[in-house]
Amino acid sequence: MRKFLLYIKTRPLALVSFIVLAALYLMMLFAEFVAPYAPTTSFADQTFHPPNVRWYHGAFQAQEWRVTNTVSWRYARVRDLYSPIRLFAKGEPYKLWGLIPMNRHLFTTDSGAYPVLLMGADHLGRDLFSRIIYGSRISLTIGFIATALSLFLAMVFGGLSGYFGGLTDWGIMRFSEFFMLIPGLYLILFLRSLLSTNMDSGQAYMMITLILSLVGWPGSARTIRGMVHTIKREEFVMNAQLEMMPSLVIILRHIIPQIASLLIVSVALSVPGFIMTETTLSYLGLGIVDPAVSWGSLIRRDISTLTNLVNYPWILSPMWFLLIVTFGFNFVGDALRDFYDPYHTVFPRLLKKQRKTRTLVTETSAVAAASAVSAAPRFLEVRDLTVNFSVLRGRTSIYVQAVRGVSFSLTKGEVLGIVGESGSGKSVSTQAIPALLPKNALVSGTILYEGQELLGLSTEALRAYRGKKIGMIFQEPGRSYDPLQNMKSVFFETLRNSDPAITREAAMEKAVALLAETGLENGQERLSNFPHQFSGGQLQRIGIALALAQSCELLIADEPTTALDVTIQKQIIDLLKDLRRTRQISIIFISHNIDLVADISDRIMVMYGGLEMEAATAATITQAPLHPYTRALLAASPRFGSHYSRERLQSIPGKVSDPAMPEPGCPFAPRCPDATIECTNGIPSLRTLARGRELRCVSKSTLSEPRELDE
């Protein structure tokens, strides 16, 4: 909540709404103190009295009026006749919260003086402002209570439905659909009409709250059901089941908190809806009745004819409070949604400037690239790629420098390995190629695919490259698939994307062939299975098959073996090698394991702190590393036959460079054993050594070019 309060300060509308809502609820809590009169106090001579608070002689005072027509209740102001308004003055006695006897009010006039009517009076001469403040106790609380009950029902029914599935799921969902088939207001009116019309205020309040709760839960329950259905397969839920916890406890204690952000936003957006529904019922005479008062009942009693509305416009005051509350909750709800989902937050001014900058940089880079590209361009060429993320920390927008001027190229059929610790910029560099970075990313540089600049292309233009020419497989294959979609649907959707005219039968034949090519047997039978029915290695094979389904020419493998055991890792590596040989596809292979990368790659690029540290052939990197960081990575890798009793596995001291606050010089300098004062005087330039080897280091141990390995 502290972080949200800092975040909301950057959203003026949400901040103002939050303050106004807090003020309204404070006035509701202290209604007896804030209101100058009780809601039933009537001034018989002030029927339909207009507002009479005026600024006079440097203070707010209540001006006196005289009735000129008792039929239409016309008033005339009496010049220079005022009653002073006192703050924290004595007035009508009351009991605060029904417990504490008091007679002080926030403001009122002296006893026996002309009354202060801040918003005028109604048809019985009752102070409208006082009645609105007292009426907020019903209108503002009924929204929260009805939302809380509705949300509890949604969590229970939606949680049970998603957790147990099967017949339980079918029964609860059909029951919820019954409520959703009937328009909400009609159903509320029908349920209310079945009850007695002679209920007192307490009974009416309770029944309206229950009706709103019964009508409001189905939509939220369906959303919760879908999310629970996914989360129930997580390991922590299985651990809870292993400990024999009751199902309802697992749902409410372990699963529901995982979707707390969704529920918080749902509450913020549901409260004004329930308030408006109660207002509608009270306006129709099916809600709160005398002597209780709510905003809806105020509108019904006072705005009885259009003539009243024209002659006494101040009786519309409850409507303004309703609008303020509705807009307030909506603006705060929008801020909550953006706070929990920052990648979809709208930063109109910031992003507009970023897009303009990116367009200019892209155009400049494209011109420079066009002059440098030869008649036969490389298959893929990335030059001076820079990626910054705009992130809100507190009230300040900062730039996270994820990638800082990385360049690399790829020929047809070549495998490029990229290694480095987490946060070094490996995945961000490759996700920028098919433009899969979030909206808060500012990308500049040049990305040429077969001579075509990809940066700055529209989404429609990128459709010709995503999937069809550039495929991608990810670190955790289990999260790459919709848990409610079987593989038959996944393959048909993918194949139809490249060939809209393909039939389902032809798509299934092609899917079976692709599965066989990637080493997954019994493809015809397995297509009807869902993701949870496959192992991690099988899902990774399916991911590769899907990348091949549209005949991709470049496969980006983002740590595809990290979540797999060593035997399956070897099988996936062998599969990628075979595909490279048979299909001549180019591969960018990302991993933390430098030995694994060397096994498959022709060339290796070592990254750290968003920069390229060293690049050379796989044999050169593993057998004759130059950069201290490369040597540290190799030293930290376990070797076959090593044992802890003979030698201790080395680790890299210190912590990884923070991209939000990068070091002024070489990012590895704070952890480097060979660092000198020169390492902190700016980022070292990237040197090109013999046979295309690249190195970014000014350490004395690397200044002289080494003898290259014999090829």
Domains of the chain in start order, with CATH, are 17-132 (no CATH), 141-340 (1.10.3720.10), 348-413+441-460 (no CATH)
The whole-number pLDDT of residue 673 equals 86
Q: What is the pTM of this model?
A: 0.62
At 655, phi and psi to the nearest 5?
Answer: -120, 160
DSSP 480: G
- Give the pLDDT confidence score for residue 430 in this predicted structure: 92
The helix or strand, by DSSP H or E, that contains position 586, with its residue range, turns out to be: strand 586-591
Predicted local distance difference test score (pLDDT) of residue 304: 59
pLDDT in tens, 488-543: 988 988 888 778 888 999 999 999 999 998 888 888 888 999 888 898 888 888 98
How many secondary structure helices (H) and strands (E) does the chain include? 25, 16
Rounded CA separation 516/495 (Å)? 16
Residue numbers of the chain with a pLDDT score lower than 50: 344, 346-376, 707-711
What is the rounded CA–CA span in Å between residue 78 and residue 510?
91
Query: Which residue type is seen at 471?
Result: G
**Residue 608 · residue 421 · CB < 8 Å:** yes
Q: What is the pLDDT of residue 638?
A: 75
Q: C-alpha distances in angstroms, 64 versus 52, 375, 399?
A: 7, 91, 61
Alpha-carbon span 167 to 169, nearest angstrom? 5
Predicted confidence at residue 694, as pLDDT, reads 92
Amino acid of residue 39: P
Cβ(627)–Cβ(614) below 8 Å? yes
Pick from 48, 27, 115: which is nearest to 315 by CA?
A: 48
- Identify which of 625, 623, 628, 618 has the alpha carbon closest to the alpha carbon of residue 596: 618
